[in-house]
């Protein structure tokens, strides 16, 4: 079967198009040979370049190669950082009108949609020694791009508000960009890289941070005793998401073993699906994901197949100013005099907390949802709450810290339990001034 629009493949950070020649050849062998397979190369290792620059430069490169940018001009496959490049490009080229998308099928292979735990390493001296040996970027590793790839990065938060929660820009719906996300959940074969493997990831990107099926909430503590929690409406229907027993490199390698042909069939479907059949495609991806996790638990490394959610907090005052010195706690108010719930959540279920280096008001929590689900199943009548508290600026500038928590995990209602998905929680704490700060008195 022949397809009538070009396919463009974008690589990730520190990679080149050469890594994707096998994938291009695979597409040709599966019916895409009569159209142009374009392999995109872009600079990702120069410190001054931003993702905004890459989005703009991608559009310019399309013009230079006479590839149209009207609606449905090409299909796009992206890997890793290429996912953010694609989203930035779509934000720019569509200018708020999703019906103008030049991309018909968007296939994301292990995209770093909500960051990577390895981004911080790329900015260290070790990262520069390992990756900075090129005269085009000597001693550089792409600081601006890596900042955007950090866990809990302000950039990924702002981008999500623009293309996942903006009601005027429904880009990731079957009526516009037909999107499929692939990600793996096993370690690299390389013994050095596998030694630092993070469970719940493909060795580079977390399963939950690849997923576009995000959730967003706001919590307002104007009344410290009665916090107001609101869910932010999504602008998308469920987005096809498939997890395979592959790592960050093998997720795009057609030469890897492919039991039942799931990877092959899903990739081809992702590039040929029509809106009317997207629901079936979504169900197939869900089946593959369930099978991957179920079968993985009986493998030699069942720990690789634990499921997690990636929760990002952004804490600020009522004026929008960031609050960087704060605590998030999970606990049970009543019936837990020895703080067993607190110890269980913070000691075993919450596996990693990362404070963003560029803006400490952003912080990510990595929660093992398998352990959380198992724990809740053993706790009849559980009522786990989440609370926030900020350190006062001084004796005169204080925060209206909450005196009540928010019910998040109970036996009956598990409001924040989202396995393999990202969650954004925007928190407003109120900054007050004591009477000492400003006094008025009568003229003697």
Question: In whole angstroms, what is the distance from residue 421 CA to residue 413 CA?
Answer: 18
pLDDT at 150 (0 to 100): 93
pLDDT at 42 (0 to 100): 55
Closest CA to 310 of 214, 237, 219: 214
SS3 378: coil
pLDDT at 84 (0 to 100): 94
Question: In whole angstroms, what is the distance from residue 131 CA to residue 122 CA?
Answer: 8
Q: What share of the chain is helix, strand, coil (3-state, %, to 5)?
A: 35, 25, 45
> How far from each other are the two terminal CA atoms of the chain, in whole angstroms?
94
Helix axes 278-296, 262-270, angle to 10 degrees: 150
pLDDT at 14 (0 to 100): 55
pLDDT at 134 (0 to 100): 44
pLDDT at 428 (0 to 100): 97
Stretches where the chain sits below pLDDT 50 are 1-2, 33-37, 123-139
How many CB atoms are located within 10 Å of the residue 16 CB? 13
Question: In whole angstroms, what is the distance from residue 312 CA to residue 422 CA?
Answer: 8
Cα distances from 170 to residues 105, 156, 173, 213, in angstroms, run 15, 17, 6, 13
What domains does the chain contain, in order, with CATH numbers? 7-215+232-305 (3.40.50.1820), 309-435 (2.60.40)
The three-state DSSP-derived secondary structure of 217-280 is EEEECCCCCCCEEEECCCCCCCCEEEEECCCCCHHHCCCCCCHHHHHHHHHHHHCCCCHHHHHH
Q: What is the DSSP string of 117-156?
A: TTHHHHTSHHHHHHH--SGGGTT---HHHHHHHSTT-HHH
């Amino acid at each position: 079967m022949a397809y009538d629009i070009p396919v463009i493949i974008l690589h990730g950070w520190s990679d080149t198009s050469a890594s994707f020649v096998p994938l291009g050849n695979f597409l040709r062998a599966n019916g895409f040979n009569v159209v142009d397979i374009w392999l995109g190369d872009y600079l990702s290792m120069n410190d001054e370049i931003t993702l905004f620059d890459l989005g703009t430069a991608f559009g310019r490169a399309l013009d230079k190669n006479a590839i149209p940018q009207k609606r449905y001009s090409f299909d796009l496959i992206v890997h890793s950082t290429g996912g953010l490049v694609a989203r930035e490009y779509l934000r720019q080229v569509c200018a708020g009108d999703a019906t103008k998308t030049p991309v018909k099928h968007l296939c994301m292979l292990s995209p770093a949609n909500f960051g990577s735990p390895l981004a911080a390493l790329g900015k260290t001296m070790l990262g520069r020694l390992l990756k900075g040996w090129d005269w085009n970027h000597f001693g550089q590793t792409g600081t601006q791009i890596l900042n955007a790839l950090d866990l809990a990065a302000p950039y990924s938060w702002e981008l999500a508000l623009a293309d996942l929660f903006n009601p005027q820009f429904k880009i990731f719906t079957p009526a516009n960009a037909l999107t499929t996300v692939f990600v793996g959940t096993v370690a690299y074969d390389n013994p050095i890289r596998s030694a630092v493997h993070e469970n719940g990831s493909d060795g580079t990107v977390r399963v939950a941070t690849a997923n576009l099926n995000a959730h967003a909430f706001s919590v307002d503590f104007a009344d410290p005793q009665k916090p107001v929690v609101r869910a932010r409406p999504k602008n998308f229907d469920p987005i096809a998401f498939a997890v395979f027993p592959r790592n960050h490199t093998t997720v795009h390698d057609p030469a890897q073993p492919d039991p039942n042909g799931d990877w092959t069939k899903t990739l081809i479907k992702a590039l040929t699906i029509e809106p009317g059949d997207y629901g079936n495609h979504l169900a197939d991806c869900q089946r593959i994901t369930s099978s991957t996790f179920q079968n993985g638990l009986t493998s030699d490394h069942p720990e690789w197949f634990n499921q997690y959610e990636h929760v990002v907090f952004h804490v600020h005052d009522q004026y929008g100013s960031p609050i960087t010195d704060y605590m998030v706690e999970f606990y049970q108010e009543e019936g837990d005099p020895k703080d067993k719930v607190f110890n269980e959540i913070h000691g075993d279920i919450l596996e990693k907390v990362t404070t963003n280096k560029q803006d400490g008001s952003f912080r990510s929590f990595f929660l093992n949802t398998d352990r959380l689900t198992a724990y809740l199943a053993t706790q009849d009548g559980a009522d786990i709450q989440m609370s926030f508290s900020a350190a006062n600026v001084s004796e005169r500038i204080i925060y209206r810290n909450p005196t009540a928590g928010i019910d998040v995990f109970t036996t009956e209602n598990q409001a924040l339990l989202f396995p393999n998905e990202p969650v954004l929680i925007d928190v407003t704490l109120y900054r007050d001034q004591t009477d000492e700060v400003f006094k008025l008195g009568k003229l003697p």
